[in-house]
Amino acid sequence: MATRDFAVRTENHVANLTGLGTLEFVPEVFGDEFLDGYSRVQEAQRAIGGEEDLTKMDPATLREVYGSMREFLGSLMTPESAERWLRFEVIKGAKLVDHYRSRAQAEEKAAEEGGRVVDKSMRVPDRVLLELLEWTVELYGGGNDRPTTPSSGSSRASRRAGTPGKASSPSKASTRTAGRSAR
């Protein structure tokens, strides 16, 4: 009888956002959940086409793209982190009625209550949002058949091909630089 051990990650991935605290992501996700969420992000990104100039984009479309990225990331977080990451409060008068992780759910409740929605989600720069997205895709969708590595760890450098030599580097050779005098 053959036996094979399969490692399953049990510790959360941790993203340290300097100055904002940490966000914890669940150790493992099921492939279909990951793919369903990520496909929604890709659909939203296709809506902007290849446009790179944000000033030329429709603000509603751009909001949809960012919203889908935030929802996708929130779906991979622990409940405590997701609560900080996505928080839409329904306010009626000056009173908090309820809060949701989905803007759509909050807007539905606000319409029922005659209130308004206030976005109290964690704010991060666009570049950080994109870096988090790339990081989670590497963690969960990297195609590795081994558990993902700790977020605090990094891959070891690849071994250099060949053997170290004793020859001098061309950059260390004595060369004159234009505009400088030799002293």
- CATH number reported for the structural domain that contains residue 49 in this entry: 3.30.2220
Structure confidence at residue 170 as a pLDDT band (50, 70, 90):
very low
Token readout for 175 is 């060369």
pLDDT score at 76: 94
First and final C-alpha spacing in the chain? 78
In this structure, the answer to whether residues 51 and 139 fall within a common structural domain is yes
Question: 67-71, 131-135, 150-154, 166-170: which range is least confident on average?
Answer: 150-154
Structure confidence at residue 51 as a pLDDT band (50, 70, 90):
low
Domain count, the chain: 2
Using the predicted structure, report yes or no on whether residue 155 has a pLDDT greater than 50.
no
Contact of 49 with 43, CB cutoff 8 Å: no
pLDDT score at 58: 78
Kindly report, residue by residue over 95-107, the tens digit of the pLDDT. Answer: 999 999 999 999 9
- Averaged pLDDT for residues 52-79: 84
In this structure, the answer to whether residues 49 and 102 fall within a common structural domain is no
Using the predicted structure, report yes or no on whether residue 121 has a pLDDT greater than 50.
yes
Q: How many residues does the chain have?
A: 183
Of the candidates 60, 65, 25, the residue with the CA atom closest to the CA atom of residue 44: 65
**What is the number of other CB atoms lying within 10 angstroms of the CB of residue 70?**
21
Using the predicted structure, report yes or no on whether residue 55 has a pLDDT greater than 90.
no
pTM: 0.68
In this structure, the answer to whether residues 104 and 79 fall within a common structural domain is no
**Lookup result for tokens 């400088």:** 180
d(CA 35, CA 103): 22
Q: Which domain holds residue 131?
A: 9-85+123-148
Structure confidence at residue 15 as a pLDDT band (50, 70, 90):
very high
Contact of 111 with 105, CB cutoff 8 Å: no
Averaged pLDDT score across all residues of the chain: 79
- Inside any domain, residue 180: no
Helix (H, G, I), strand (E, B) or coil at 149: coil
In this structure, the answer to whether residues 26 and 94 fall within a common structural domain is no
- Inside any domain, residue 178: no
pLDDT score at 174: 43
